[in-house]
Structure 1
Amino acid sequence: MELDLETISEIKRKAVEFLFEFGPRILGALIVFIIGKIVIGFLVKALHKVFEKYNIDPSLSSFLKSFASAILYVLLLITVASTLGIEMTSFLAILGAAGLAIGLALQGSLSNFAGGVLILIFKPFKVGDTIEAQGTLGAVEKIDILYTKVRNFDNKVVTLPNGVLANNSITNLSEKPTRRVEMAVGVAYGTDLKKTRQVILDTLKKDERIHAEPEPVVKFTSFGDSSLDLSVRCWADAGDLWPVYWDNMEALKEAFEANDIEIPFPQRDVNHYYPEGIPAAKVKEDSEGSQV
């Protein structure tokens, strides 16, 4: 289909009208976009310097920079659209409604996200720490923005939501360099407690992993059913906690045996009565007397 001169002239006229009407808007939008992009780059770099200054976790720093950059680009897009003369009221209403629906649908994930941010900022624990939380005791293997992975001592990996961790108590067993070792021992009734205490202290002094300060203590705690109960407390490096406990429990047993300190065990006296109520020992005594 061939175009006649009149049609071509009309197209040229409308093109010129469009150019004069929308050309300045397009040029303005392009300038806004270029300037906005430069400003966003400057702000992201400034944010990076702030994170470095306050020693923010690298994984959190990277996520927050990407998140901030995405928000800034959304704002830039809205500004550019507004510069082009696009009506933004309806668009923003739809965007707000969609954001509300997404927020309600992802309420749990948003809670975990906020918890992850708080954990990475305030650092109640870090990768490699041993923690106890939500009934789980183990070493932290990974801290994600939504979940934390903990490997317990039988090599099972437990995934805990960050929202739950951030809003409940956490016991960090690795934050302090030293830990108190507690051992409970019992000796037989009639045992000399002063001698026993000295034997225990002498045994602990042989272990170089046990700190001299604070010095070990041995205290009598209770009268047990079959034993006099003692509490033994000493301090060691956090990494030596269980080796010190296991080795010294065995060393104390050997020291007690070497010093004739009796290690008690539960005992019961049993008397057997016949149905008539006569003790068995009495029946045996009477029968032996009658034989004589």
Structure 2
Amino acid sequence: MDFDSIIASITTFLATYGFSIIGAIVIWIVGSWVIKKLLKTVASLMGKKNYDESLQKFLTNLIGWALKILLIITVLGILGIDTASFAVILGAAGLAIGLALQGSLANFAGGVLLMIFKPIKIGDLIEAQGELGVVKEIEIFTTKIITPSNKLVIIPNGTLSNGNIVNYTEEGQLRVDLTIGVSYDADIKQTKEVLLSVLTSNDKVLSDPAPSVNVSELADSSVNFAVRPWCTPANYWDVYFGTMENVKLALDKAGIEIPYPHAVEIQKKG
């Protein structure tokens, strides 16, 4: 092939594809710049919303790759390459990956929801999926809580986000629900005064809301009192166990009997 033929071929190629190539280059440069600006804006917005750092990085990367794939398809289309089959391949691959990772994707989606809407946060005392404990860590796929017996419980975020969550910390105050039974011979007014004195003398029991003591049930062998002190979530177990112990001591001191089961032995004369 002589030099004139080469020049003619190059001229023909440029005349046919020159504007497309230039347009593709311009679109790539401008598109890349726009993607960088968009990612910075998204990262800034997530930072203002106090999203979890790991979630910010993951979502930013996910959005970045999605935009880059869209930009590549656009550039290929400008160059005259058929992108329909390329899009079909991407869709089929995405479907296959989605089916293979169905459980993991559900946990990921649950983790995203937990980090965005924040029904719980690290340090909260929660009850979920039959477990009670303090939230230690919220990850993309799982949430870790520490039970009162110092056991680590790992809950998948998919089931956690789709189930009921009781957050004992969110409101800043907790009511401790106790039931204390005394003998029918006990004076109700005196018993209420003794029980209320136990609550008000505990510096971990809040004065607002005020603790309460009320008759809740006339049971078979006891008059039951609903004892309701309020405390902070951090002091819950101290108030619970401390109240039980101090109530027993105070009732004994006041001479108020706490009923207990009696065994009756019946003997027949032979």
* Superposition TM-score, scaled by structure 1 size: 0.84
> Of residues 124, 127, 138 in structure 1, which corresponds to 2:122?
127
Matched with 1:223 is 218
- Select 1:65's aligned residue among 44, 60, 63: 60
- Structure 1 CA distance for aligned equivalents of residues 90 and 250 of structure 2: 76
Q: 2:158 maps to what in 1?
A: 163
Is the alpha carbon distance of 1:204 and 1:158 closer, same or farther for their aligned partners in structure 2, counting shifts above 3 Å?
closer
Tell whether the 8 Å contact from 1:178 to 1:238 is kept in structure 2 after alignment.
Answer: yes
CA contact (8 A) 1:225 1:266 kept: no
Partner of 2:75: 80
Q: Among residues 27, 49, 53, which one is paired with 1:32 in the alignment? A: 27
Q: Matched residue of 2:88: which SS? A: helix
In the TM superposition, what whole-angstrom CA distance separates every residue of 1:140-192 from its partner, at most 9, and x where no partner exists?
12212222222223333222222212221111111111111122222223111
Unaligned regions of 5+ residues in structure 1, if any? 1-5, 276-292
TM-superposed CA distance for 1:7, in Å, is 6.0
**Where does the alignment leave 5 or more consecutive residues of structure 2 unmatched?**
none
Name the structure 2 match of 1:281: none
Out of 84, 96, 109, the position equivalent to 2:91 is 96
Question: 1:217·1:234 contact (CA, 8 Å) conserved in 2?
Answer: yes
Instruction: Tell me how far 1:48 sits from its aligned partner.
Output: 2.5
Select which of 238, 253, 258 maps to 1:258.
253
2:44 paired residue number:
49
Counterparts of 1:109-124 in structure 2, within 5 Å, are 109-124=104-119
Q: Which residue identity does 2:114 align to in structure 1?
A: I
Query: Partner of 2:207 in structure 1?
Result: 212
Rounded to whole Å, the distance in 2 between the matches of 1:257 and 1:104 is 66
SS at match of 2:177: strand
Distance 2:153 2:21 in 1: 54
- After TM superposition, the structure 1 stretch with the greater mean CA deviation from structure 2, 169-178 or 46-55, is 46-55
Superposition CA RMSD, Å: 2.2
Distance in 1 (alpha carbons) for counterparts of 2:84 and 2:181:
79
Any conservation in 2 of the 1:176–1:238 contact (CA below 8 Å)? no
- The residue aligned with 2:168 is 173
Larger Rg: 1
Identity within the alignment, %: 43
238-247 or 266-275, which moves further after superposition? 266-275
Which of 134, 137, 157 aligns to 1:139? It is 134
Per-residue deviation, 1:57:
3.5
1:212-256: CA deviation from partner (whole Å, max 9, x where unpaired)? 222222122233444322221111112111111212222222212
Partner AA of 2:242 in structure 1: D
Q: Is the 2:125–2:233 contact (alpha carbons within 8 Å) kept by the matching residues of 1?
A: no
- Please list, as runs of the form range in 1=range in 2, the aligned pairs for 1:238-253 lying within 5 A after superposition: 238-253=233-248
Spell out the pairing of 1:183-198 with structure 2 (5 A cutoff).
Answer: 183-198=178-193
Further displaced range: 263-272 or 114-123: 263-272
AA paired with 1:158?
V
